[in-house]
Amino acid sequence: MPELPEVEVVRAGLAPAVAGARVRGVEAHDPRALTRHVGAPADFEARLTGREIAGTARRGKFLWMPLSDDPARGPEAVMVHLGMSGQMLLRAPGAPAERHERVRVWIEHPDHGELAVVFADQRTFGSLAIDELVPTPDGNPGGFGDAAPLVPRQAAHIARDPLDPAFDDALFRRRLSGKASAVKRVLLDQTVVSGVGNIYADEALWASRIHPETLGRDLSTRAANRLLAEVRAVLAKALAEGGTSFDAQYVNVNGQAGYFAHSLNAYGRRGKPCPRCGTTIVRERFTNRSSHVCPRCQRRPMRVET
């Protein structure tokens, strides 16, 4: 479940089940699910077993579960990145293996009893890790869901996401205005703004009537503000609808799909009419991926010789 709304749906689903729970056992079935973990799979299993999970937090598409302090170590967390196809599922302890199950963590919660937390991932671009928590430079909370001013080392280079109260609008505008890259590439650059992926980039660009190939530095302050506002709006609306699910791949911790796919205006709508002007939406190649644009509402910028 890749972009911010889908990851937040997962975080919110995990929170009540894992906060205050103790890890009773860990089984890593596939080492590719631990590529972000420094150390062997056996190290991951051993270090996590017996620990208490304090809560959950998220910045952009990075999710983590802070662990209760271990006097022998500094603050640390189980970090999760879902990649393109990762899922975190809550199951009964003896539930049969999921398709593409990579890691299973058995937990015991004082109120809810025993549960299995399953990480399943078809394409294996996602992974888990035990990571050190480092202080945020601005002293603000590391992410959504936890007030601690800490962030996993592997997520520290990621910008705050636009739904974070500590997101710096002026900094975003400044970074954008200095870019010789296409605005869509800037939206997908998680060190500039986090949480946006291919779906919501296309949706926000459509809503703000900006062609994805427009250079960041060519956007007026006004256009940059409009874009940021539309990014926020689409992320918030998608979150309220439980995220985007085209198929059974993108689901919450109980395996249920979200409803935002019905609200898409541009993404995946090649050949269908633009909801604003009726012009046929086209698909364009974009760095080995695709962009969906309305050729009338989103005018391709003139090539300027430099």
Partner DNA sequence: ACTCGTACCTGTTAGC
Partner DNA sequence: TGCTAACAGGTACGAG
Report the catalytic residues. Answer: 2-3, 61, 289
Q: Return the C-alpha torsion angle 31, 35, 36, 38, nearest 10.
A: 70
What residues between 223 and 282 interact with DNA by CB under 7 A? Answer: 243-247, 249-250
One character per residue 180-199, x = contact with DNA (rule: CB under 7 A): xxx--x--x-x---x--xxx
> Does position 148 bind DNA by CB under 7 A?
no
Count the residues of the shown chain that bind DNA, applying the rule CB under 7 A: 44
Does 173 participate in binding DNA (rule CB under 7 A)?
no
**Dihedral sign of CA atoms 274, 277, 278, 283 in order:** negative
Determine if residue 123 is labeled as part of a ligand binding site: yes
Is residue 178 within 8 A of residue 261, CB to CB? The reply is no
> Per-residue x/- marks for DNA, 9-48, CB under 7 A?
-----------------------x----------------
Taking the complex as a whole, the smallest distance from the CB of residue 239 to DNA amounts, in Å, to 12
Tell me the Cα Rg of the chain.
20
Decide: 298 and 204 in contact? Cβ < 8 Å.
no
H-type helices in the chain, by residue range?
4-18, 41-48, 169-177, 183-188, 198-207, 221-240
292: region left, alpha or beta (phi > 0 left; psi from -120 to 50 alpha): beta
Binding status of residue 118 toward DNA by CB under 7 A: no
Annotated binding site: 100, 123, 179
Binding residues vs DNA (CB under 7 A): 1-3, 6, 32, 60-62, 81, 83-85, 100, 122-125, 154, 157, 178-182, 185, 188, 190, 194, 197-199, 243-247, 249-250, 283, 285, 287-290
